[in-house]
Amino acid sequence: MNLRESVGIALGAVRSNKLRSFLTLLGTIIGVMSVIAVLSFVEGLNRYVSQKLLNAGANVFWVDPYGFVTSQEQWEEVKDRPPITLDDADALRAGVPHAATVIAMADGSAIAHYRNKQVRGVAIRGRSAGYEVVDDYTLGAGRLFTDVDDQRRRLVCVLGSEVADELFSGLDPIGKQIRLGEENYKVIGVMAQKGKLLGQSQDRFAAIPVRTFQKYKQERGSFGVAVKSMDQASMPVAEQEVRNVLRGRRHLGPRAKDNFGITESENIMELYRNLTGGIFVVTIGVAAISLIVGGIVIMNIMLVSVTERTREIGIRKAMGARRRDVLAQFLVESTTLSLSGGLLGILAGVGLAVLAGAVTPLPTAVSVPALFLGVMMSALIGIFFGSYPAWRAARLDPIEALRYE
């Protein structure tokens, strides 16, 4: 039919009264904008997290007394479990053939001192040798610590690049003595920079041998064990082997539950997905409400338009327009209207996402399906809320419409 004409009429109406059109379309604009912005944000987060977190811990799982605790009740249940000891870790290293690397770990934090300089909030990572494979760091300078350093509980450390930069600002840190908390350590290496994850620096740490950590920082308490399996496929086998070793060491009967926990990065991803899913659902709700309000405003404007143009409808019918022609004309108009709102909303949403990506640590990525969704949604709003006014127009009696003053 006269699609071009109808679109033209609608766009003309939008353009001729910009303020009114803007107010009319505000609901649609806000609705589409929030959907686009949130989808872009969630999409960006997804990509970022799966890239950083999953790649870092590829084929890695963690063993500790508690497992992946997500609620208070769960915590009550697991909090009195026996600790994991360094002997447990050694037993796992010996008894899990499908593990490529097994490391023990313990974490603390301290102030780092070098001469008159100090750096606060340095994460102290007690680790077995070989931890860089698990934590996904590469050596920038110097050397890594070895099993021998660990066995002898040597006071040596490998610094994260941020700590090295702040303490030594330009000087070569290798071979220097620094103080971490109470003890002095010799810097034997510096890790290459890894960057930030969700705004958190990953380079603000000092790694020391785990037995050194045990001796000076933590006399009792539990250690964690990170296991990297040979490959993706052998993960479940490695997990089962870990279970067998620990159950054996703890003399658990066949019916007793594990009194230790195994966590995969997949578990963390899952929590994360639930979290973003929650944000997603809330925003979709808000967007739905503003879209409905926006749709009602569009319906109102279309009803006014139908009344104002009763004579025009009469003329068109007198010239042979069928009901469906009039219906189509007004549906095209309301859809054009809501689509212009949708496009503005997409622009605003993308703008918001890009802006958020630029000025905050939040990662954003505009997803193409989200743009399609925005277009689809606004078109559906136009069709749905335009139906009633269009139907009113279509069933007008020609002669009465012509007589309308």
* Interacting residues toward other proteins by CB under 8 A: 1-2, 5, 9, 311-312, 314-325, 398-399, 402
Tokens of residue 393, six digits: 């127009």
Smallest gap, in angstroms, from Cβ of residue 400 to other proteins?
A: 9
Shorter beta-carbon distance to other proteins: residue 1 or 296:
1
Q: Record the tokens describing residue 159, joined without a space.
A: 């610094």
Shortest distance (Å) from residue 279 CB to other proteins: 47
Q: Choose between 314 and 389: whose C-beta lies nearer to other proteins.
A: 314
Distance of CA 327 to the CA centre of its chain: 45
Q: Which amino acid is at 332?
A: V
Q: How far is the CB of 41 from other proteins (least distance, A)?
A: 44
**Minimum CB distance to other proteins smaller for 102 or for 321:** 321
* CB 323, min distance to other proteins, A: 6
| Shortest distance (Å) from residue 328 CB to other proteins | 11
Residue 302 and residue 389 in contact, taking contact as beta carbons nearer than 8 Å: yes
Nearest to 214 by CA among 311, 111, 107: 107
Closest to other proteins by CB, 77 vs 308, is 308
Shorter beta-carbon distance to other proteins: residue 181 or 398: 398
Shortest approach of other proteins to residue 304 CB, angstroms?
A: 16
Is 174 or 315 the residue whose CB approaches other proteins more closely? 315
**CA distances to 55, 93, 125, 130, 280 from 135, in Å:** 10, 17, 11, 9, 31
What are phi and psi for residue 360, nearest 5 degrees? -125, 165
- Burial environment of residue 222 by CB neighbours within 10 A (0 to 12, 13 to 18, 19 or more): middle
Instruction: Give Cα separations from 323 to 8, 298, 318, 326, 392 (angstroms).
Output: 20, 21, 12, 5, 10
User: If 0-12 CB within 10 Å is exposed, 13-18 middle and 19+ buried, where does residue 163 land?
Assistant: buried
For residues 215 and 187, the answer to whether their CB atoms sit within 8 Å is no
Question: Which string of DSSP letters, residue by residue, matches 290-319?
Answer: HHHHHHHHHHHHHHHHHHHTHHHHHHHHHT
Evaluate whether 184 touches 155 at the Cβ level (below 8 Å): yes
Smallest distance from other proteins to CB 21, Å: 17
Between 321 and 352, CB nearer to other proteins? 321
Q: How far is the CB of 299 from other proteins (least distance, A)?
A: 23
Least CB distance to other proteins at residue 22 (A): 22
CB of 313 to other proteins, least distance (A): 11
CB of 393: closest distance to other proteins in angstroms? 14
CA 217 to chain centre: 34
CA-CA distance, 352 to 246, in Å (whole number)?
Answer: 51
For residue 179, report the phi and psi dihedrals to the nearest 5 degrees. Answer: -110, 130
Q: Give whichever of 319 and 359 is closer to other proteins, judged by the CB atom.
A: 319
Q: Which is nearer to other proteins, 8 or 357 (CB)?
A: 8
Query: Which one, 147 or 397, has the nearer CB to other proteins?
Result: 397
Dist. CA 176–CA 355, nearest whole Å: 43
| Assigned token pair, 397 | 């009696």
Nearer to other proteins, 175 or 320 (CB): 320
C-beta neighbour count of 157 within 10 angstroms? 29
Distance CA 301, CA 341 (A): 14
The separation between CA 369 and the C-alpha centre of its own chain, rounded to angstroms, equals 17
